[in-house]
Amino acid sequence: QVQLVESGGGLVQAGGSLRLSCAASVASGRTFTMYPMAWFRQAPGKEREFVAGISWNGGTPYYTDSVKGRFTISRDNAKNTFLQMNSLKPEDTAVYYCAAGRRFATMSASSISVADFGSWGQGTQVTVSS
């Protein structure tokens, strides 16, 4: 129902910044603004984890504790979702995935598991060197 393509990953030194973008294509009859959007990440040998999310109506974003104050998620009405990452740390190194959730779902601690999101991008690598 939603196809997602990420871009913007790369190699950066600790303390640096990157901005990830996610472009969405939505099935006919539905609109991008119906879907909550999120970013997840997966480091080698670890499970995929939630990073940041924003509700379908652009409500207060939700972040995992380790990125609060450093990362900012945003979306526009042109089907794009962004993740601005500042003060990057080596432990932020991972493949970052964009994901779309169920229509009209809001973001909360009870709705940020991998199973809550049905559409995924292919991922973009972020590597932070020390």
For residue 118, pLDDT over 90 is answered with yes
pLDDT band at 107 (very low <50, low <70, confident <90, very high): confident
Question: Mean per-residue pLDDT for 109-126?
Answer: 94
Question: Mean per-residue pLDDT for 14-19?
Answer: 98
The SS3 call for residue 98 is strand
pLDDT on residue 52: 97
With a CB cutoff of 8 Å and minimum separation 6, the contacts of 127 are: 10, 11, 12, 93
CA distance 127 to 107: 27
Which tens digit of pLDDT belongs to each residue from 49-100?
Answer: 999 999 988 788 999 999 999 999 999 878 999 999 999 999 999 999 999 9
- Identify whether the C-beta of residue 79 lies closer than 8 Å to the C-beta of residue 100: no
Q: Would you say the C-alpha torsion 90, 91, 97, 101 has a positive or negative sign? A: negative
Question: Tokens in use for 67?
Answer: 């990125």
- Identify whether the C-beta of residue 63 lies closer than 8 Å to the C-beta of residue 29: no
